[in-house]
Structure 1
Amino acid sequence: MPLLGTLPALRAALAGPLRPVFVPTMGNLHEGHLALIRQAREAAADQGRAVVASIFVNRLQFGPNEDFDRYPRTLERDVELLAGAGCDLVFAPDEAALYPEPQVYTVQPPAALADILEGAFRPGFFTGVATVVMKLFQCVQPHAAVFGQKDYQQLRVLQGLVRQFALPIEVLAGPTVRAADGLALSSRNGYLDEAERAEAPQLQAALQALAAAWRAGPRTAAHREQLEAEAAAALRARGWQPDYLSLRRREDLQPVEGDTPAVALAAARLGRTRLIDNLEV
């Protein structure tokens, strides 16, 4: 399986009539990433398309106090895992290859979607994500791209990017992969110590309780705010530091009322580790 680090080499390898199916990653792969590769393999199989994965730790989406330098780089292991999952080619550029000059042209998602929830706690995060994904799309020129549903808000941002720029790319959502105890798989789970790892599934449990309470009604704004506050307080009592537990409309992540399809989203710190999760209601 080729491992390529430059744009000319990538374009030469992908020359041909069939555009690939693409899975962008930041490396440090786990079973959740590999499930996306297998989903891409299925999407590619009927037309004989290649599956391409990228590995790039994108500085633009890390805030000044976040873990860019601490983020694990495990390229050799990642390449082996990708090959075993059915990937055909890995694009792993360094910063000089992907950003040969300062990236002053950026993609700015709408504030109504990008400055809430994750965006409220990580200013500029979705600009960094949208910019690197747009650039990777231009490099790979995929027919379709697969993104995990665990990053629910990110998925909505990127669906909007593809739609608004009329990109000829199908965005496929990959279901969240979980450990046996319900914890959503994440590269950041590796930062948890033994006691924190045992506690971590409580984030999904809090979302399940929040979703059940919302389904039971009444589905009013006041009741939603009460349920969100109670869910955050319950996590806080267990030693978490919640950023948000929120019930939103699936379509645009605005506060939900009534019978509109909803999603419960959460982000909270457990020790030094910030975990996110979601649950469609």
Structure 2
Amino acid sequence: MAKRKEILDWCAQQLAIAQFRDFSPNGLQVEGRDEVNSIVCAVTASQAAIDFAVAQQADMLLVHHGMFWKNEAVAITGWKKRRIQTLLGNDINLVGYHLPLDAHQQWGNNVQLARHLGWQIDGCGGEQNLVQYGSLVHPQSALELAGQMELSLGRAPMLLCADAQRPVRRLAWCTGGGQGFFQYAIDAGVDAFITGEVSEPQYHLAQECGVAFIAAGHHATERYGIQALAFAVAEQFGIRQQFFDELNPA
């Protein structure tokens, strides 16, 4: 069993949360019991994840997407009230780490996605080092790469490119909503850029710049970082942890 503050202090140091400009608070978002013996981790602090944490009698719900974001309404009503009410009623801590978890070079979403898919990691860059880059051990076509990702992630990605048979060796990627980094990847000279979501402009850039764009799902690409962090916390403090997944197609 560990104290909540011990876990929070350790995560803050390990993830270097003070170094990031973020859209949400990193760390404790809803306070629960002081002592933590069991953690449930999930990509998002959804009602389903909270209900699972309650069913498992967890002391902490550890997530990548927390509950409070800049530029949203501050009133606690509707779905937000229900989520917070459930957490408080069961004395469960809600702890979230957003950009610090994306960028971390051991447990981060970018690094963990690469390890899951067998990509070579060469470095990182872009705003707040949120873009990872590397290469395929064995070059393959953009179509083959998308097919491999579908098998591995359990979700059919969207492939945008002018030539699906063009060989891919060098990659850049940013999990989740990283489509805005596509131009950075193009300028870096990669053959393909992978992220979770797609917006309308990416279609044209992929057609005109000769770089494949793959949108493999926000949830699907960010499953692995939070699991790695939860495992590290459990190992550090000798507590239990388990992962709650959702069938989120987005």
TM-score of the superposition, structure 2-length normalised?
0.32
More strand by proportion, 1 or 2?
2
Question: Comparing both chains, which one has the higher relative contact order based on Cα–Cα distances under 8 Å and sequence gaps of 6 or more?
Answer: 2
TM-score of the superposition, structure 1-length normalised?
0.29
